[in-house]
Every structure is written in C-alpha cells, then in structure tokens.
Amino acid sequence: MEWLRIRRVSTFTRIPYAGNPVWIIVGQKNKIEQKKLLKLTQELNPISDTTFIFPGDQNADIYLRFFSKSEEINFSGHGTIAAYFGIADENLIKLTEPITLIRQHTKSGIKHLELRVKNNKVERVTVLIPVPQFLSIPIDIKSISRILGISPIDIRETNYPVAAVSSGYTDLIVPVKSLEQLMDIKPNFQLMTSYCNRLRINGIVVFTMKTFDENNTVHMRYFAPTVGIKEDPVSGASSASLGCYLLKNRIIPQQEMTRILVEQGHSMNMPGIVYVHINIIKDQILKVSFGGQGVVTFEGRILLPSGSICTR
C-alpha cells in the first residue's frame, strides 16, 4: 500500500474556507497512472480541481498535474496557487527571499512563476501567462441573456461589448449593469453547456464594475459547465482575461503597468481576490500575470489505488 500526503488549500484568500478550495496531493514519483489520479479526484469530489505535485527534472523545478472530476486538464490557476502554499514542509523547492523564481512543468508546458517569500514562507504566488487573444466568433446576445435569465437590455445598456477571449481556455465575457443583478443570476446550465460546446468555448464570465469593496476594480462570476464546474468560486486565468478586456476596451484607464483587483466568490459565500498585472503600451498588451494568496485548512494522508480500477 502506498500512502500520499494530502492537503486542502483555500486559494485567493487568507481566510480559511473562503476563496477557491483545492485538494493537493504530493507524490514522490511522476509515473502514476492517469486513471489512479482521476479516481482519487473523484473520491475527493472537489468543487473545482485537484492538483497532484511531483518532483521536477532538469527542465523544471516542479511538476504539476491538474484534474477535474471528469478528466485531466491542461492548467489550473487556483490549482497552481494552492500547490505552493501546500508544500511548505515538503522540501520540493528552495525558497529565496524576497522573490523565488520557479519553472513549473504542466500538461500545457513550462510556465514561469514568482513566489513572494518572507520568513521562509510563501506570501503570494504570481503566474505569468500567455497574452490573452481576442477572438472573432458569432455572438447572439438574445441567446446569452436567455442562458443567464436576464433581459438583453441589461447587457446592451452597459455600453460594453460582449467578447470572446482566450488565455488557454476560451471564455465569453458578458457585462451586466449592477452588482445586485449579477448576484441574482441563476443560469440555465443545460442551455449554457450546449451554447458553449457549439461555439467551442469553455465558460462564461459575467461582470459588473460595481464591487463589494470599493478598493477592488471589478466583480465577476465564472460559469464553466463544459469542464464539469457549474460555477467556479474564484478563477485566476479568467480574471486575467477579464483584466485584458477592461483595458482593451478602455473601461479602465490604460497605464504602462496596471494592477486590477478582481473580486469573486460572494455568490457562493466564498469570497476571494485575484491580483491581475498587465503591461500595456499604445493599446498593445505585452505581459500578463495573475496572483493570489492561500491558506491550508486540512492535512493528512490518502491511499493510492492499486491494481486495475474503474473510474465512474
């Protein structure tokens, strides 16, 4: 029998049980069958994802694999944040104050991260991502409003466009007028899944410029039923796409370096904050990253399945 170390981390927050919870499981060898990792994920029944952490190699400092309840996925922003708060005692990486630079190997390739370190502890994780791309796809506001259960007027009267943005995952970004309206949205997930599959998009970001905390920039909710997540409490990559959308459409002032604070999770009583940093010159986005904090809420061990298994 092989036991693996396991922790649960609340990400994009310093408050236990807020933000986006992620299970992380630490393995000492990289060659664990995908079926076994998926079986563990399904047994844990996560709200969003589970992150499996393995030692790095000559090309990277650490190796991460991400699973939803239905499949292995290329990348998870909150799964990445969780990893570095969950391996504090594992000696898998060497921390250097005040900044530790990390090369992270995932299914989507090598990603570069920055860990803010104080007193030999990670204070914040920042992930550099490819510059999101704005896509041209057919957009039907009437269909979107029917999916969200709101009037098309509530979208059009914002005077902001509906847009498709890809940062590895492709999201449709939809504005609404008020925070109250955003909190009241109850999507038709059957219609949403069909619509997203037809357009080959992963999820829908719905946002308003009204916020619970006046120090934050924007409030958003993220729905991604096509990957098995009806609503994600806090999404890092989608926050970065939203930040680029806000700058591209001059909804917020363009500066050479812009920090955007994206609040999420209030609709699920799991509030969190994503820090988005964007370098932009003359309407050209040059560099994009997102980051956040985390706190461990559980730790223990879990038994790795042995032999042949069936996944449900």
Return the CATH superfamily for domain 133-292.
Diaminopimelate Epimerase; Chain A, domain 1 (3.10.310.10)
Distance (Å) of CA 163 to CA 14, 40, 195, 301? 32, 36, 15, 44
Geometric angle at alpha carbon 11, from 9 and 12, rounded to 5°: 160
Strand partners, 112: 103
Written in H, E and C, the secondary structure of 268-311 is HCCCEEEEEEEEEECCEEEEEEEEECEEEEEEEEEECCCCCCCC
Question: Would you say residue 32 has pLDDT above 90?
Answer: no
Percent of the chain clearing pLDDT 70 (strictly above): 98
pLDDT tens per residue, range 90-141: 778 999 999 999 999 998 889 899 999 999 899 999 999 999 999 999 999 9
* Segment holding 10, helix H or strand E: strand 3-11
pLDDT for position 310: 52
Q: Which two tokens stand for residue 42?
A: 């399904």
The amino acid sitting at 115 is L
* Rounded CA separation 257/278 (Å): 6
Q: What is the pTM of this model?
A: 0.90
* Rounded CA separation 309/312 (Å): 10
Strand partners, 308: none
Question: Would you say residue 247 has pLDDT above 90?
Answer: yes
Side-chain-side CA neighbours of 190 within 13 Å: the count stands at: 0
When pLDDT is cut at 50, 70 and 90, the band that residue 308 belongs to is low
Least confident range from 49-53, 210-214, 216-220, 227-231: namely 227-231
- Across the chain, what does the average pLDDT equal? 92
Mean pLDDT over residues 202-206, rounded? 96
pLDDT for position 91: 79
Question: Would you say residue 262 has pLDDT above 80?
Answer: yes
Question: Would you say residue 88 has pLDDT above 90?
Answer: no
pLDDT for position 307: 64
Percent of the chain clearing pLDDT 90 (strictly above): 76
CB 178 within 8 A of CB 185: no
